[in-house]
Chain A
Amino acid sequence: MQPAKAETGTISRLMRVFRGDKNRSELKEFTIKQHPGMVVLDAIHQIQADQAGDLACRWNCKAGKCGSCSAEINGRPRLMCMTRMGDFEPGETITVRPLKAFPVIKDLVTDVSWNYEINKKIKPFTPKPKNADGTWRMQQYEIDRVQEFRKCIECFLCQDVCHVLRDHDKKSEFGGPRFFVRAASLEMHPLDTADRVPMIKDSLGVGLCNITKCCTEVCPESITITDNAIIPLKERVVSRYFDPLAVLWHKITGLPKQPRGGE
């Protein structure tokens, strides 16, 4: 694939699109008219309009912000609305499949409800009491870190590409990168008082992540998932459970007061 280049004229393009459900499926070939500026989602819509009215796909904003149109395009988990057709070589066939890590409902639509169940396990934001003047105060410099995590659009591309879910199907033991991002956004918040470290270790299973960074590679919001969310959480788990000196220190002094100056 090449970086975006100027596109001229309309060309015809061969597409292979997944049709079926979780039990029966095949790749169907469609030839489409590719106009300048088109994205993969447009091509799917063109197929719906002209050739296969019952082709199912999920989309909403067509602006890379709702996280609905996630699919696997030539093997790469990407947003269909943010993938330009002109970035592929003119003769290249484009293959579109649904997210592999989740059960297919129909065609390109998968059932991602497991993610919402995982989300419920995470203790929500629990701010400390307000100051005497009835406000909370925090500094921009200390909130920058969690603002990166707030960019998440819940496209679940990171969940899809993570081999722990994709290849090893550890959905009962592992929360996946998206929820480490969410846990980190709460856990590192300067006003938050809840303790999520045991949950991060046990129910989200952070130890199953082997920091191979595929999640970071696919994130359309360029969140540095592994280095900024997962590894810092792993380090917090180390302090609580694996570092003998830190464990001893907490035995003597008790866990740090909330909100924590750190452990």
Chain B
Amino acid sequence: MSENTNEGVLTGALATDRKDAWWVGPLLTAMGLGAFGVYSTIRAFANADYEWGPYLSPFYSPLIRIPGLNVSPAFLILWAPAGFRATCYYYRKAYYRAFFQHPTACAVNEIHGHSYRGETSFPFIFQNIHRYFMYVAVLFIGILWYDAISAFFFPAADGTRHFGMGLGSLIMVVNVLLLGSYTFGCHSLRHVIGGKMDCFSCTSFGKVQHKTWLGVSWFNNRHMLFAWCSLFSVGLTDFYVWLCATGRINDFRFF
């Protein structure tokens, strides 16, 4: 053994004995989140082509138009879903790994020194307000259901609305189902709804709370899956509305 050397210890940024493609996960995450970030920013600034027939893009819902205010209505509402996702326990994991490299992958040496403060100092200490975004997000699910149902009532030339179903109507329903599955798996909701209890049999509604907690836990187990599915569905729903609104395609009408 050589004198006073520690050759047995892996040192240096990103050093690891792992032989699998540990960098693929963070790379795909960064690409996925990056692509969505770029697309949604462009669409939010566009301030156009967000409505067609009975369809309303989720980036613009609820639609708040303030006369005289020269700002895209998307910005009046996007803080809510953006804040919800940015402070979501799943997305935190995803971007801490993919963007902040804390850590890049498990048991792969970090690239940083010892300045790590986790979620104890600014700005990440603000992750602790996630439950407030959750309350708003639950409200938004109601609003998006309203939009999805409205998407079955097509306006006629005389101003009346007729029941019908287009591909867009289905897309909007699938989107709100996926968004609901994501939102109702929220870790903060899981706490508020029953996770905070220690003794379910000690209170009158404990049993009901326990059942609800189990329900939220089911979605919570699949939180990452629904986080990605709903992210794609929101983007695709907006894209479909944009395609119709700009006349690039004709909405496919079932009846």
Interface residues of A (CB under 8 A from B): 1, 18-20, 23-27, 72, 74-77, 92, 95, 97, 100, 137-139, 141-142, 160-161, 163-164, 166-170, 187-192, 205, 207-214, 217-218, 226-227, 231-232, 234-239, 241-243, 259-263
Q: Does B129 reach chain A (CB closer than 8 Å)?
A: yes
Main secondary structure of the interface of A (DSSP, over half): mixed
Asked if B199 and A138 make an inter-chain contact with CB atoms under 8 angstroms apart, the answer reads: yes
Interface majority SS (helix, strand, loop, mixed), chain B: loop
Whether A167 touches B112, Cβ cut-off 8 Å, given contacts A24-B5, A76-B107, is yes
B93 and A211 form a contact (CB under 8 A)? yes
How many residue pairs at the A-B interface have CB separations less than 8 Å?
187
B residues 1-21 near A (Cβ < 8 Å) are 1-10, 16-20
Q: Report the count of interface residues on B (CB-CB < 8 A).
A: 60
Top 9 closest pairs, chain A to chain B, by CB: A25-B8, A75-B17, A262-B196, A75-B18, A214-B106, A235-B191, A208-B118, A207-B120, A242-B128
With CB as the reference atom, state the residue of chain A lying closest to B100: A210
Interface string of B91-135 (1 = CB under 8 A from A): 011001100001100111110101011111000110011111000
Q: With A141-B210, A210-B118 known to touch, is A97 a contact of B201 (CB < 8 Å)?
A: no
For the complex, give the distance between the alpha carbons of A218 and B93 in Å.
16
Residue among A18, A142, A208, A211 making CB contact with B8, cutoff 8 Å: A18
Known: A235-B188, A242-B125. 10 other contacts (CB 8 A): A26-B2, A97-B10, A100-B9, A139-B200, A190-B201, A208-B116, A227-B221, A235-B131, A261-B202, A263-B196
Determine whether the beta carbon of B16 is less than 8 Å from that of A75.
Answer: yes
Is the Cβ of A141 less than 8 Å from the Cβ of B200? yes
Chain B residues near A18 (CB-CB < 8 A): 8
Note all chain B residues with C-beta closer than 8 A to A77: 107
